[in-house]
Amino acid sequence: MEQIKIGFIGTGVMGTGIIQHLLTLPNEIHIFNRTKKKADSLIKKGAVWQDSPTFIAQNCQVIFTMVGYPKDVEELYLGQDGLLHHALADTIFIDLTTSTPSLAVKLNQAAEKLGLSLLDAPVSGGDVGAKNGTLSIMAGGSEEKFARVLPLFKTFGQNIVYHGSAGSGQNAKMSNQIVIASTMIGVCESLTYAKNAGLSLDLVLKSISTGAAGSWSLSNLAPRMIVDDFEPGFYVKHFIKDLSIALEEAERMELKLPGLQLAHSLYNEISNAGYDDNGTQALISYYRQG
Residues labelled as active-site residues: 173
Adjacent-strand bridge partners of 266: none
In 10 A of CB 164, how many CB atoms? 13
Three-state SS at 117:
strand
CA distances from 135 to 118, 154, 177, 196, 288 (A): 20, 9, 14, 35, 31
Residue 32, amino acid? F
Torsion sign (Cα): 24, 170, 244, 258 = negative
Q: Hey, which residues does 31 pair with through a beta bridge?
A: 8, 49
**Closest residue by Cα to residue 264 from 244, 288, 248, 235:** 244
- Which residues, at least 6 apart from 42, have a Cβ–Cβ distance to it below 8 Å? 11, 16, 19, 20, 23, 31
At residue 278, φ and ψ (nearest 5 deg) are: -95, 170
Do 153 and 3 meet the contact criterion of CB atoms below 8 Å apart?
no
Sign of CA dihedral 251, 117, 2, 43: negative
Task: Return the beta strands (E) in 98-228 as ranges.
Answer: 117-120, 123-124, 135-140, 157-164
**Integer Cα distance of 234 and 159 in angstroms:** 19
- Contact indicator for 241, 98 with CB cutoff of 8 Å: yes
Among residues 59, 63, 83, 56, the alpha carbon closest in space to that of 72 is found at 83
